Chains A and B, each alone.
Chain A
Amino acid sequence: MREMTFVEAAREALAEEMARNPAIFVVGEGIGARGGSFNTTLGLYDLYGPERLRDTPISERGFTALCTGAAAAGGRPVVDFMFIDFLADGFGDLFNQTSKLQWMSGGRLKMPILLRGCIGVAKSNGAHHSGNYYPFFMHIPGFRVAIPASPRDAKGLMKTALRSNDPVLFLEHKDVLMLRGPVPEEEYLIPFGEASVAREGKDVTVVAIAAMVPKTLKASEELAKEGVSVEVIDPRTVAPLDIDTILASVHKTGRLLIVDEDFAPCGVGAEIAAQVMARGFDDLDAPVQRLNGAFAPAATSAVFDNMVPQVPDITKAVRDLLAE
């Protein structure tokens, strides 16, 4: 199968959907002729021009709400925030309008808007360029949240997002943007709410999010040498969350660790743990454990690169869980 990077795969999905649907337009800073700070729209300006690839001033609040209005009127905007941290200025309207318009209108309005941006500490750019924030959106009724970790999933989830009638957050971790992997030539979509079993195993289940997926796969290889068989699950979307796949795995392994670089409190891991406790309690041989990033804004100095879990942290957390 052909290989491409995560960025290329997501961009191919956007290009295909833009060809299919003339109502799709993209807004953001530098997403026109420049092709986006992270090359998310590279080459598309030449195909679709300035009205469908709209360079904006630094008016996040304005263009987020504008796109909400555009979506309500039958357009299909893609808001490219570059760093997802910049979405924060638009949060008031996202929360009060974007997420609620369908409900408030009794389903008569649709809200086909895609909100995308890069997440993660990665090589830290500091407190204002490193956020994850997805639990905010899991918490609010109305949002879909996709966090792909491979090129294949990036394309398939982007296609689904661009056909969804709900507001979708499409989050791209900086550490996976340049990851290369197989991407099918023929058209495919990946439905929301279907986790992928990224590696099969029988001793312990590890649910990993975004950049933690490749790290956990690496940790699993090391653990395999010690005779530990890890099953790695990538939820791919956290809203909706495919709890059934996680429960089935825990039924098999009896142990669950959630690895997420975002903060622990009220996070993805907390939600998964609560649901597993409610529905899979009898399967558990040990308490559900979480491994998260430090509970602090992102610091820049290179000494803080390990403020989010690294491969050795994951192997250690798995060993600790097996020792319970």
Chain B
Amino acid sequence: MAKAKLGVVIEKPAAGLSKEQLLDLYRQMLIIRRTEEQLIRAYQAGKIHGACHTYVGEEAVATGVCAHLRPDDVVFSTHRGHGHALAKGVTPREVIAELFGKATGVSGGIGGSMHLFKPEIGMMGSSGIVGPSITMAAGAAYTFKLLKTNRISVAFFGDGAVSNGSFHEGINLATVWGLPVLFVCENNMYATEVPFNQATKNPDVASRAKAYGLPGVAVDGNDVLAIYQAAGEAIQRARGGEGPTLLECRTYRTRAHSEGMRDTGYRTAEEIAEWKARDPIARFRDVLLGGLASEGDVIRIDEEIKIMVEEATAFADSSPWPDKAILTQHVYSDSGG
């Protein structure tokens, strides 16, 4: 169950969500999972050029947060950004084609796993550099405030970024300037192979909010409804001009840091098994089947997404390679394209 911090109360899950909304959360998590599984197979088949950091096990976070976002709200993402992109509305076709290096990819094939951009719908990019999602999201929020919009900005970042200077500077600036931004820490307990408690003496990320003077909330990052609820309250505050929130989602990646990397020697098989048993999708499916939706509803979605992702892979496979000329386009605003 979600843990409340600094007076933010998390009510009983499912309250206030229609059946359709609940099924949408399920659908979104499954889209991410199935897309990742497809990418894993493709990686093993040698079809992916460059890295591939999957979001398997963490789907509830992007799903619960992005369910509140409008297309004109923005997300700044990390190296582990497939889930953020998909939850923000990028299609499996565009993600898979991008990792295959195809022209139809969301970044035209120049970006790969760590550089997914679709600003038209508020996907401001994943990043191969740890940290700047925090400060850049604060900057977007500055613009939204300056221009008197009620748009908001979201920074996703891992526990690893918490020890980076950008965490301190970004959160302090956003708080003192009252910016409409949500800071979402995906605390999966490891940065590559470094356990969070070896990176800090205070692994309670939400508690740090106190030092900066903004609300800090920790939630079960494998509980999509808890995240949905906590993010909803924070986003409402941000839209209402009440400034930023630090939301810590405690979760776990159940695969290696990056595909093709070893996943032993720094964590135990038991720990992985424990977290797999808390799989956010299986758990939510149980919640749904406990009276909120029928088995038929859920199976229909399973089938729908299976087909969607297969079709997306075929699309990526048959897509053309990028035109080599695009390499030097867009280095400057007037350099073509």
Interface of A toward B, CB cutoff 8 Å? 29-30, 33-34, 37, 55, 57-62, 85-86, 88-89, 123-129, 294-297, 299-304, 307
Inter-chain CA distance A304–B108, complex, in Å, is: 12
Inter-chain contact B114/A89, CB cutoff 8 Å: no
Inter-chain contact B327/A300, CB cutoff 8 Å: no
Cβ of B56 < 8 Å from any Cβ of A? no
Inter-chain contact B191/A57, CB cutoff 8 Å: yes
Encode B88-127 as 1/0 by CB contact (under 8 A) with A.
0000000000000110010001111111000000000001
Partner of A299, one of B110, B164, B194: B110
**Among listed B128-136, B208-216, B240-248, interface-contacting one:** B128-136
Given known pairs A58-B191, A300-B112, A302-B49, the reply for A126 and B128 (CB within 8 Å) is yes
Inter-chain contact B114/A126, CB cutoff 8 Å: yes
For residue A79, give the distance in angstroms from its CB to the closest CB of chain B: 16
Inter-chain contact B327/A296, CB cutoff 8 Å: yes
Given known pairs A57-B199, A58-B131, the reply for A299 and B109 (CB within 8 Å) is yes
Given known pairs A57-B191, A125-B112, A127-B111, the reply for A89 and B327 (CB within 8 Å) is no
Given known pairs A59-B164, A128-B127, A296-B331, the reply for A29 and B192 (CB within 8 Å) is yes
Inter-chain contact B114/A58, CB cutoff 8 Å: no
Inter-chain CA distance A86–B165, complex, in Å, is: 13
For residue B208, give the distance in angstroms from its CB to the closest CB of chain A: 14
Inter-chain contact B194/A123, CB cutoff 8 Å: no
Using Cβ atoms and an 8 Å threshold, which residues of chain B touch A300?
49-50, 101, 109-112, 115
Beyond the given pairs A58-B164, A299-B109, A299-B326, 10 more chain A to chain B contacts, judged by CB atoms under 8 angstroms and listed by A's residue number, are A33-B265, A34-B193, A126-B114, A129-B114, A299-B110, A300-B49, A300-B110, A302-B101, A302-B321, A304-B327
Inter-chain contact A57/B127, CB cutoff 8 Å: no
Using Cβ atoms and an 8 Å threshold, which residues of chain B touch A58?
130-131, 160-161, 163-164, 191, 199
Interface of A is mostly: loop
Interface of B toward A, CB cutoff 8 Å? 49-51, 101-102, 105, 109-115, 127-131, 160-161, 163-165, 191-194, 198-200, 265-266, 321-322, 324, 326-328, 331
Using Cβ atoms and an 8 Å threshold, which residues of chain B touch A304?
110, 322, 324, 327
Using Cβ atoms and an 8 Å threshold, which residues of chain B touch A126?
50-51, 110-115, 128
Using Cβ atoms and an 8 Å threshold, which residues of chain A touch B327?
294, 296, 299, 304, 307
Inter-chain CA distance A125–B160, complex, in Å, is: 20
For residue A292, give the distance in angstroms from its CB to the closest CB of chain B: 12
For residue A77, give the distance in angstroms from its CB to the closest CB of chain B: 19
Using Cβ atoms and an 8 Å threshold, which residues of chain A touch B111?
126-127, 299-300
Inter-chain contact B194/A125, CB cutoff 8 Å: no
Inter-chain CA distance A129–B161, complex, in Å, is: 17
Inter-chain contact A295/B191, CB cutoff 8 Å: no
Inter-chain CA distance A303–B324, complex, in Å, is: 7
Chain A residue nearest to B194 (CB atoms) is: A55
6 sampled A-B residue pairs with Cβ under 8 A: A57-B200, A89-B129, A125-B112, A125-B128, A295-B331, A301-B101
Chain B residue nearest to A83 (CB atoms) is: B128
Inter-chain contact B165/A62, CB cutoff 8 Å: yes
Inter-chain contact B109/A303, CB cutoff 8 Å: yes
Chain B residue nearest to A295 (CB atoms) is: B328
Using Cβ atoms and an 8 Å threshold, which residues of chain A touch B322?
299, 301, 303-304
Given known pairs A129-B128, A295-B328, A300-B50, the reply for A57 and B115 (CB within 8 Å) is no
Inter-chain CA distance A89–B112, complex, in Å, is: 23
Using Cβ atoms and an 8 Å threshold, which residues of chain B touch A303?
101, 109, 321-322, 324
Using Cβ atoms and an 8 Å threshold, which residues of chain B touch A299?
109-111, 322, 326-327
Chain A residue nearest to B162 (CB atoms) is: A57
Using Cβ atoms and an 8 Å threshold, which residues of chain A touch B321?
301-303
Given known pairs A123-B50, A125-B128, the reply for A57 and B110 (CB within 8 Å) is no
Inter-chain CA distance A89–B163, complex, in Å, is: 13
Given known pairs A58-B163, A294-B328, A307-B327, the reply for A124 and B50 (CB within 8 Å) is yes
Inter-chain CA distance A60–B101, complex, in Å, is: 30
Using Cβ atoms and an 8 Å threshold, which residues of chain B touch A123?
49-50
A60, A62, A86, A302 interface centre (most CB from chain B within 10 Å): A302
Chain B residue nearest to A59 (CB atoms) is: B163
Partner of B328, one of A62, A85, A128, A296: A296
Using Cβ atoms and an 8 Å threshold, which residues of chain B touch A33?
265
Using Cβ atoms and an 8 Å threshold, which residues of chain A touch B165?
59, 61-62, 89
Inter-chain contact B51/A125, CB cutoff 8 Å: yes
Using Cβ atoms and an 8 Å threshold, which residues of chain B touch A88?
129
Using Cβ atoms and an 8 Å threshold, which residues of chain A touch B265?
33-34
Inter-chain CA distance A300–B326, complex, in Å, is: 12
Using Cβ atoms and an 8 Å threshold, which residues of chain A touch B127?
128
Chain A residue nearest to B110 (CB atoms) is: A299
Inter-chain CA distance A179–B88, complex, in Å, is: 43
Inter-chain contact B129/A128, CB cutoff 8 Å: yes
Inter-chain CA distance A86–B200, complex, in Å, is: 20
For residue B136, give the distance in angstroms from its CB to the closest CB of chain A: 14
Chain B residue nearest to A129 (CB atoms) is: B128
Nearest 4 interchain pairs by C-beta: A128-B128, A301-B101, A57-B163, A300-B112
Partner of B49, one of A30, A124, A129, A295: A124
Using Cβ atoms and an 8 Å threshold, which residues of chain A touch B160?
57-58
Chain A residue nearest to B114 (CB atoms) is: A126
For residue B132, give the distance in angstroms from its CB to the closest CB of chain A: 9
